Amino acid sequence: MGDNTTIRNLPEAVPFPDGRPIIELPHISLKGLFDHDQGEIDKIWNICRSMGFFYLNVTDDPRGIKLWNDGVDACGVGQATLRTLSMEEKLEYKSRDGRGIFDMGYKCPSIGPNGEPEFSEAFNVPLYEMAMDPNLGSQLPPWLREYRDLFTSLMQNGNTIFDILLGILEKKLQLSDGELKSLHRFADPSNDFLRLLRYPGVPEGTKVAQTNFPPHRDAVSIAILFTWVGGLQTLDPEFERKLQNGGVNRHLNSTHDDGWRWIKPIPGHVVVNVGAVLSILTNGLLKSGYHRVVTAPGAQKSVDKYSVLLCYRPALATKMSPLVSSVIPPQTPEQQKTPVLTFEEWGAQASIRLPPFWKNR
């Protein structure tokens, strides 16, 4: 662990199949962001106002290689624990009491007759306690304690990238210096977390539900995903525009809906998406990526799919109303009548709106 000169990757047991409808996400260079390359900065601005998804190449900078290798090691933790530990042991890592958003603990939405996860399982490690205040009650279970330094390193290094993106958006939005960043200070209590997910493989001949996580927009500011097996899909931007304008009459969960496009995993690249929080803070100017997770395509469906997700959110006390600048659209009179919630309140309501078995995302 800790190497920042040579990129490592997981063995590719089954390649992503050819012939599937994939979306060609824009590619951004991490080195370009660190170097303040104006071309990369302009690309970020255009992406965040359109589809809200992009690949970030982390292999062209030593800090990115460290981040990627930590992500590979974190995936290895999932492989060593989620598949092998008993459900009883995993459930001992409890979710936080009294908070709507799932930011710590283990969760399995549906347990099959054999006592194993039917669709997915995950554990969350909260950033604030790991990095700032370990005395708040977020003690890792015995089977995760030895990985505390790895988790903290991964979340802190991801936060560096998050901070760069916020700085770019802050300037493009013509906000005062620090206005957006101040809502996301590393030292403030928040619901930032690292999530390690496992989607069990499906044996050949087994009939399963196609959608493992229904269509949604993440209740975050920005999410950074490490993934190695197919399953993530987003709507084709043109299809989504037609859908919003009433030009398409299809059910979004239909497995035959050609509006969905696969996001193909690329070694050395993380998938970054804008969450609903930044869309709200900019009154819809920044677009939150609409996506879902389905059973992996082709022969990959028989392989256990592991993903590592870093989610960054504003401080719990942040007011969830649009910021004011010459670029951000002003609120309508109707919007001005709407009660303003804190992020903590809004996050709890966002979890309530999810299907019952997926609450507390």
pLDDT tens per residue, range 143-199: 999 999 999 999 999 999 999 999 999 999 999 999 999 999 988 888 899 999 999
* Amino acid 138: pLDDT: 64
291 to 64, 119, 135, 264, 328: CA distances (angstroms) = 25, 17, 36, 13, 25
> How many residues in the chain?
361
- Alpha carbon dihedral 310, 314, 350, 101, in 10-degree steps, equals 60
The letter for the amino acid at 132 is M
**What residues contact residue 281 under an 8 Å CB cut-off, 6+ apart?**
180, 183, 314, 320, 321, 322, 323
Contact 32, 90 (CB under 8 A): no
The DSSP string of 143-171 is TTGGGHHHHHHHHHHHHHHHHHHHHHHHH
pLDDT tens per residue, range 299-351: 999 999 999 999 999 999 999 999 999 999 999 999 999 999 999 999 887 75
* Amino acid 198: pLDDT: 96
Model's pTM, two decimal places?
Answer: 0.91
* Amino acid 190: pLDDT: 86
pLDDT tens per residue, range 15-63: 999 999 999 999 999 999 999 999 999 999 999 999 999 999 999 999 9
Q: Does the structure show a pLDDT above 90 at 122?
A: yes
Q: DSSP 3-state assignment of 183?
A: helix
Using alpha carbons, select from 237, 312, 240 the residue that is nearest to residue 274.
Answer: 312
Contact 352, 102 (CB under 8 A): no
